[in-house]
């Protein structure tokens, strides 16, 4: 009875985190869906029994029972995480706070969702799912907080890495994905681009998220692959712009040197005696012609360099057959011999059906063969362009 009294006093100080509007279901889709994408659709039997017992104890002390939230619960492995000092009661309260945050997230009330996820983190700071949820809210705010998102993602990644099954943790790729988007925000807010390492950091995080999606057969693979390619294209365009700017400055400097040398030689001629005026005029004309030749040579040199560095047209063999974008990880369908981008064909097999999208022949992911030769050629093309 003393335990029940203490539990009643504890729960009375907090809002009913388990309540949410009924009738709402969250489906797994793009990373921009209304509810956090890492909330699983069903709790384990052990967790349901634990929740049922907890609700049963509370119903003996409160006149009205709480409604069960329509937001899906996290997996049993997430709910069973402790910080070394917690107990079943504190874990239950943390999950209730998370469900409350999910409800606010579905209503696009990101400030209250952040508060609820913060409560969940306080009650159970060892669960990376809570950090992932809060990180996404930081990105969705009216004024996104990229720094806070990066901090939450970094902490969540550290928690995942501390576990033996870290690479298989279902939330790990989302942490890298959100972190990459936060780095892009910081980069976009720096118009001078003095800190280009942020764009490189974003690309590295996109790459980690992409690799994890492939290994986990996630439905977000295609979405992440698209943003990964866009970030790499942005880095190339920025580097190309800086190169052109540097070449323009070099061009102007070389032309100014040639003209300066011309002016110096003409000034020396003007100091000659009047008896040598005719010879001086001839020398001045020769100096002008020499200057024009040098400037023409400089112009031709820079024009040729510009032609060599222009972006070449992308060969058709480099283009994926589904999204029509340049492939990053080409694989061959063994029966048809057609090459697809891995992210695109895997997404097709998972979402649409186990068949080749062009030939309609049966196809399974395990049958895909990496096209290493084409991948090497594509990487070389991207490195030069």
Question: Per-residue pLDDT tens for 336-347?
Answer: 898 999 988 998
State the average pLDDT over residues 29-52.
44
**Which of 191-195, 202-206, 281-285 has the highest mean predicted lDDT (pLDDT)?**
202-206
Which pLDDT value is given to residue 384?
74
> Which of 101-105, 165-169, 326-330 comes out lowest in average pLDDT?
165-169
Q: What is the CA radius of gyration of the chain?
A: 32
Quick check: 80 pLDDT over 80? Answer: no
- What is the pairing mode between strands 339-341 and 369-370? unpaired
State the average pLDDT over residues 215-229.
83
Which pLDDT value is given to residue 32?
42
Distance between CA atoms of 150 and 181, rounded to whole angstroms?
A: 9
Question: Higher model confidence: residue 360 or residue 177?
Answer: 177
Question: Higher model confidence: residue 195 or residue 259?
Answer: 259
Residue 367's contacts (CB-CB under 8 Å, 6 or more residues apart) are 333, 334
Distance between CA atoms of 216 and 317, rounded to whole angstroms?
A: 28
Quick check: 25 pLDDT over 50? Answer: no
State the average pLDDT over residues 286-298.
81
Is this structure's pTM higher than 0.75?
Answer: no
State the average pLDDT over residues 229-246.
80
Q: Considering the chain, what percentage of its residues have pLDDT values greater than 90?
A: 31
Which pLDDT value is given to residue 194?
61
Quick check: 54 pLDDT over 60? Answer: no
Q: Cβ(107)–Cβ(116) under 8 Å?
A: no
Question: Higher model confidence: residue 193 or residue 213?
Answer: 213
Which pLDDT value is given to residue 99?
95
Quick check: 49 pLDDT over 50? Answer: no
Closest CA to 126 of 81, 92, 170: 81
Q: Cβ(113)–Cβ(122) under 8 Å?
A: no
Which pLDDT value is given to residue 191?
66
Distance between CA atoms of 137 and 142, rounded to whole angstroms?
A: 10
Quick check: 301 pLDDT over 50? Answer: yes
> Which of 81-90, 91-100, 140-149 comes out lowest in average pLDDT?
81-90
The string of pLDDT tens digits covering residues 311-330 is: 556 777 888 877 767 898 99
Question: Average pLDDT of the chain?
Answer: 75
Map the chain to HEC letters: CHHHHHHHHHHHCCCCCCCCCCCCCCCCCCCCCCCCCCCCCCCCHHHHHHHHHHHHHHHCCCCCCCCCCCCCCCCHHHHCCCCCCCCHHHHHHHHHHHHHHHHHHHCCCHHHHHHHHHHHHHHCCCCHHHHHHHHHHHHHCCCCCHHHHHHHHHHHHHHHHCCCCHHHCCCHHHHHHHHHHHHHHHHHCCCCCCCCHHHHHHHHHHHHHHHHHHHHCCCCHHHHHHHHHHHHHHHHHHHHHHHHHHHHHHHHHHHHHHHHHHHHHHHHHHCCCHHHHHHHHHHHHHHHHHHHHHHHHHHHHHHHHHHHHCCCCCCHHHECCCCCCECCCEEECCCCCCEEEHHHHHHHHHHCCCECCCCCCECCHHHCEECHHHHHHHHHHHHHC
Count of beta carbons in the 10 Å neighbourhood of residue 176: 24
Quick check: 4 pLDDT over 80? Answer: no
Distance between CA atoms of 316 and 288, rounded to whole angstroms?
A: 50
Question: Higher model confidence: residue 196 or residue 279?
Answer: 196
């Amino acid at each position: 009875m003393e335990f029940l009294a203490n539990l009643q006093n504890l729960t009375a100080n907090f809002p009913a985190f388990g309540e949410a509007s009924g009738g709402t279901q969250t489906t797994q889709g793009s990373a921009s869906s209304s509810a956090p994408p890492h909330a699983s659709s069903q709790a384990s039997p052990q967790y349901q029994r634990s929740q049922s017992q907890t609700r049963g104890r509370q119903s003996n002390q409160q006149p009205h029972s709480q409604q069960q939230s329509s937001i899906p619960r996290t997996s049993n492995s997430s709910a069973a995480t402790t910080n070394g000092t917690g107990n079943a009661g504190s874990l239950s309260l943390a999950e209730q706070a998370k469900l409350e945050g999910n409800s606010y997230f579905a209503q696009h009330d990101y400030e209250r969702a952040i508060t609820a996820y913060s409560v969940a983190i306080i009650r159970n700071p060892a669960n990376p799912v809570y950090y992932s949820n809060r990180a996404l809210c930081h990105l969705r705010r009216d004024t996104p907080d990229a720094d806070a998102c990066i901090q939450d993602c970094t902490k969540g990644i550290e928690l995942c890495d501390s576990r033996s099954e870290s690479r298989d943790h279902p939330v790990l790729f989302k942490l890298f994905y959100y972190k990459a988007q936060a780095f892009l925000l910081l980069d976009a807010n720096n118009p001078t681009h003095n800190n280009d390492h942020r764009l490189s950091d974003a690309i590295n995080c996109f790459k980690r998220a992409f690799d994890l999606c492939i290994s986990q057969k996630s439905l977000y693979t295609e979405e992440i692959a698209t943003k990964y390619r866009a970030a790499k294209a942005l880095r190339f365009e920025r580097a190309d712009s800086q190169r052109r700017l540097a070449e323009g400055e070099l061009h102007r400097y070389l032309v100014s040197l040639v003209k300066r040398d011309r002016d110096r030689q003409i000034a020396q001629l003007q100091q000659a005696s009047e008896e040598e005026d005719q010879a001086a005029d001839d020398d001045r004309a020769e100096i002008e012609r020499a200057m024009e030749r040098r400037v023409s040579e400089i112009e031709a040199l820079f024009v040729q360099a510009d032609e060599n560095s222009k972006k070449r047209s992308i060969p058709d063999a480099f283009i994926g057959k589904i999204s029509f974008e340049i492939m990053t990880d080409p694989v061959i369908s063994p029966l048809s011999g057609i090459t697809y981008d891995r992210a695109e064909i895997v997404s097709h097999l998972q979402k649409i059906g186990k068949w080749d999208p062009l030939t309609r022949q049966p196809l399974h992911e395990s049958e895909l063969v990496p096209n290493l030769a084409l991948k090497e050629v594509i990487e070389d093309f991207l490195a030069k362009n």
